[in-house]
Amino acid sequence: MVVIDYFDDLELSACRRINSLSRWRLVRSFFAAVSRLGDYPAWVGFGLLCASQQGSEAPVFVVQTLITAAIGIIAYKLLKHRLVRERPYIRHSGHIECGTAPLDRYSFPSGHTLHATSLSILYASYEPRMLIVLVPFALLVAASRVILGLHYPSDVLAGAALGAAIATTSISIVG
């Protein structure tokens, strides 16, 4: 696709600068660990903590979380398989290093960032005090995707926007 190729080339310089951080083993290891935690383990832990504070509302919270996460999975998989934007380390091999194994081949949008955003917003709607942990962790997850060469900055921004839209819709429906 010509449009995707244009944006890939437009973002190459930023990707190279950000991805160069992964050349340091400690940085790469740290962000690979953050990325793995952002797959689901951290969100399950945060969710269990939040659910434990909900009392009789816990079942509603759990169902809302599961539905919100499922909608996020469906949305990003549909987009990834329709838009087929190659990951930066594939499209720009030799310029972008892959810092950890990807979950799939395509990059747009960032599913990790989508879920980090949507679940942070959802959890914070129940427990605002959790923002002190959720926001920094979500930002680290988003950064990890570009630092590890798995996403372009626009993939991360699109994932965050889509995640925010899914979460706010979920909150407004359950309200």
Hey, what domains does the chain have and what are their CATH numbers? 2-174 (1.10.606.20)
112: closest CA among 102, 125, 121, 99? Answer: 102
Nearest to 61 by CA among 115, 120, 122: 122
Instruction: Flag whether pLDDT at 9 surpasses 90.
Output: no
* Overall size of the chain counted in residues: 175
Q: Read off the DSSP letter of residue 129.
A: G
146 pLDDT band, cuts 50/70/90, is very high
Q: Is the pLDDT of residue 169 over 90?
A: yes
> Which tokens belong to 86?
């190659």
Task: Inform me whether the pLDDT recorded for 50 exceeds 90.
Answer: yes
User: pLDDT per residue over 72-96, tens digit each?
Assistant: 999 999 999 999 888 999 988 888 9
